[in-house]
Structure 1
Amino acid sequence: MGTIATCAVAYPADGLTMIGHLALPAGVDRRPAVLLGPEGMGLGDVECRRAEALAELGYVALAFDLHGGRYVGDPEEMPARCLPLLADPDRMRGIGRAALDVLRGEPRTDPDRIAAVGYGTGGAVALELGRDGAALRAIGTVDALTTDRPGGAARIRCPVWAGVGSQDPIMAPAQRDAFTAEMQAAGVDWRLTVYGGALHAFHHPPVDHATVPGVGYHPRHAQRARRDVVDLLAECLSVPEAQGA
């Protein structure tokens, strides 16, 4: 087997020059593709490695940017940047659409087989792409049980899988209930996995800077969530070699 290839991709969105991380599987044929959204801190090494792991499984993967090439590690600056974004579905859709256009424009991408997977703020962007009617085969989110304007979910055209920690204070039970009620009312093919005992960002290895309260890494559930994402992609994008994580 050959090796994957990676490169940085610059593109405009949200009034910024975004710098995404593109990972291509070995070969020259068209492959199903995954748009990968980062947490609120922005695109970092963890998301880049996730994109590369997906390329090793045979997917074209683009980890998109949120902050114009910046990683916002300051726990005070990050909410100041992300909370207004999360409150503005149109901005999130613009960020997602710009990245999706880049992924569709990649010659290795099969434009009829694209999924969006995101974590935290990136997961909210993935959901907003679905609510905006984007032609996706699957949406997967972790720590992103955002709800939308009434009736928005009716435009989602693919299965939705969501994962959340049971002890996540940011995605509290009331938010879980609102999310699942929205999906159910819209007739979406949805699933919610609750990982017992896990906090917010349970999937993200520890970082070397301060974080907001309620965040904590759970290695066992992180592995399970990774497998759940891979299973979703294998089911909806039909890649037989997508096994393991």
Structure 2
Amino acid sequence: MTAVTTRTVEYPADGLTMVGHLALPAGADRRPAVLIGPEGPGVDDVPRRRADALAELGYVALAFDIHGGRWFTDPEEMLARCMPLLADPDRMRDIGFAALDVLRAEPRTDPDRIAAIGYGTGGAIAVELGRAGVELRAIATVNGLFTGRPGEAKNIHCPVWAGVGSEDPIQPPAQREAFTAEMQAAGVDWRLVTYGGALHAFHHPITRTDQKLLPGVGYHPRHAERAWRDVVDLLAECMPIGSIMGA
């Protein structure tokens, strides 16, 4: 593992002051960079640790915010914030664009090698950046399989990887099929991995005692590890660190 430097970054988006977590690998050279979007409740230590883990692998990583520094423990409050957001592609794009501007402004970022990954609402935002025509090297979304406006998926010019739990009632088979049909019709290089027996947010450990869960939400440690490896493999395929990692 290489030494990682982290810092909190504040920036405006969606009428809020967002609070992101930026992780930088050792060295001073430019590196491929990754946006990391959080689950619906917001940014907690889980996406921060993901950013740190990617920085250890040699990437610049920004865990971006979606709620102005807030983390929702009450799922009803979270849904009241997220559902209108998920229904408004322009708002999702604005949140993603603002985070992208922060990542591009970091001197360590190679602006020609940026990927977007995300979970739930953050994953939907990652895909929406692709639909908006942002030049990304890869997109990954876990539990964020939402269809966009008709025809806009043709603007995605990079591989899209998606993951979902087989028992996820929030992302049921019909929703998954609509998402993959959209990708296929647009000629996108897409993959969908279904993790058997997993619920919604299967990748997110329960880290707080005050956290309330929606029905159909549950952590699956084995599949969480597998999904993370799948995302890392996608990044290695599309944005290899190469000689930086001694390859």
Report the Cα distance in structure 2 between the residues aligned to 1:170 and 1:13, rounded to whole angstroms.
27
Whether 1:96 and 2:125 are equivalent positions in the alignment is no
Structure 2: any 5+ residue segments left out of the alignment?
Answer: none
Partner of 1:189: 189
Alignment partner of 2:223 out of 215, 221, 224: 221
TM-aligned CA deviation for residue 242 of structure 1: 6.7
Alpha-carbon RMSD: 1.2
Partner of 1:52: 52
Q: Contact 1:10–1:20 at 8 Å: present in 2 too?
A: yes
Partner of 2:106: 106
Partner of 1:131: 131
Q: Give the letter aligned to residue 27 of structure 1.
A: G
TM-aligned CA deviation for residue 73 of structure 1: 1.5
Partner of 2:237: 235
TM-aligned CA deviation for residue 155 of structure 1: 0.4
Q: SS of the counterpart of 1:10?
A: strand
Report the Cα distance in structure 2 between the residues aligned to 1:20 and 1:116, rounded to whole angstroms.
15
TM-aligned CA deviation for residue 2 of structure 1: 4.8
Q: Contact 1:16–1:67 at 8 Å: present in 2 too?
A: yes
TM-aligned CA deviation for residue 76 of structure 1: 1.2
The normalised TM-score by structure 2 is: 0.96
Structure 1: any 5+ residue segments left out of the alignment?
Answer: none
Report the Cα distance in structure 2 between the residues aligned to 1:210 and 1:68, rounded to whole angstroms.
20
Partner of 1:71: 71
TM-aligned CA deviation for residue 7 of structure 1: 0.2
Whether 1:175 and 2:187 are equivalent positions in the alignment is no
Structure 1 residues 204-215: aligned runs within 5 Å = 204-207=204-207, 208=209, 209-215=211-217
Cα 1:2/1:235, change in 2 over 3 Å: closer
Partner of 1:141: 141
Deviation per residue, 1:125-180 (Å, 9 max, x gap): 00100000001000000001100111010101110000000000000000011001
Partner of 1:29: 29
Report the Cα distance in structure 1 between the residues aligned to 2:100 and 2:64, rounded to whole angstroms.
9
Q: Give the letter aligned to residue 166 of structure 1.
A: S
Q: SS of the counterpart of 2:75?
A: coil
Count of residue pairs the alignment pairs up:
243
